[in-house]
Amino acid sequence: PIQEAKYIWRNGEMIPWAEATTHVMTHGLHYGTSVFEGMRAYNTKHKGVCVFRNREHIERLFFSASVYRIDLSKYSVEEIMQVCKDVVAKNDLESAYIRPVAFLGYGEMGPAAFDAPTDFAIAAFPWGAYLGEEGLKNGIDVAFSSWRRNAPGTTPAGVKAGGNYLSSRLVSQEAKLSGFAEGLGLAHDGTVSEGAGENIFIVMNGKIYTPTAASSILAGITRDTVITLAKKAGYEVVEQSIPREMLYAADEVFLTGTAAEITPVRSIDRLPVGKGNRPATSQIQDMFFGIFSGETEDEWGWLDPVA
């Protein structure tokens, strides 16, 4: 169950968690017309509680809203960044998962509904390692789902909208019901796409590979973080379309996401990954978590202090 916090921001006000309810005729509930973000606040050693890559997440939220014409023109990116920090502070959270969600609310039915009002909420609550502390250390077992990810020209994978997570649910539940920690999806053309809620990376012969946007991925902010850190560590990072068997030939595989952070994969479809040692994954994990301990200098301005 969700670990409740005290307050949620709703359309401009802080209200008690239990009062943040909505009507059953809400447009987003029927048609998937919601856009959202998943962000984390970390209790850093050197800068106190900070939201990680606040701006990039909120810019992506505004982009997602624009594609489905969910009107956020009442708000600026800067205001909403500040609200995310306020919600963490108001709830006295030291580390948190932050969930902004904007959806078409109550007032008009029908998919096109031009006049359905925007309903906008931002919650923050404690959420530990999504694929488990154990998984972060020792790696997880994953498998490809029989379900393909949404094809280009259908609902766009590069937009973080509620409706897309029907695909994620099918992929993730199928894998979990078969005893795997997470499911992977192939793109419409059979190339590797991503995990149900994570991007995927491969380390092979000292180079790092990850699928391109053409393979129906959400271009993750953690993905961008990893590409930046890996390049800084001297790796060549190649974005290309990836055939499934390349995963079986890889030396290392890992998943990235705000919730999943950087989680190593130890087997795919019951085939063990590489030789079981993970020097590159460990190095990038250390650089990533070093941002929060202060050991990695935040030369990009990714930490946004709450106080």
Residues in the site for ligand PMP, rule: CB under 6 A? Answer: 38, 168, 194, 197-199, 218, 220-223, 256-258
Question: What span, in angstroms and rounded, lies between the C-alpha atoms of 191 and 187?
Answer: 5
The residue annotated as part of the active site, out of 160, 176, 231, 232, is 160
Q: Which is nearer to ligand PMP, 203 or 226 (CB)?
A: 226
Angle at 195 between CA 190 and CA 284, to 5 degrees: 115
Query: Please, which residues bridge with residue 143 across strands?
Result: 183
Q: Residue 48, Cβ neighbours under 10 Å: how many?
A: 13
Q: Which is nearer to ligand PMP, 218 or 253 (CB)?
A: 218
Q: How far is the CB of 168 from ligand PMP (least distance, A)?
A: 6
Q: How far is the CB of 196 from ligand PMP (least distance, A)?
A: 7
Q: Which is nearer to ligand PMP, 38 or 264 (CB)?
A: 38
Give me the half-sphere count of Cα atoms (radius 13 Å) on the Cβ side of residue 286.
8
Q: How far is the CB of 126 from ligand PMP (least distance, A)?
A: 17
For residue 87, CA distances in Å to 3, 9, 80, 99, 202 come to: 15, 7, 10, 10, 36
Query: For ligand PMP, which residue has the nearest CB?
Result: 220
Q: Which is nearer to ligand PMP, 182 or 198 (CB)?
A: 198
Residue with the two structure tokens 């190339």? 191
152-168 burial, b if ≥16 CB within 10 A, otherwise e? eeeebbebbbbbbbebb
Q: How far is the CB of 38 from ligand PMP (least distance, A)?
A: 5
160 is catalytic: yes
Active site amino acids: 160
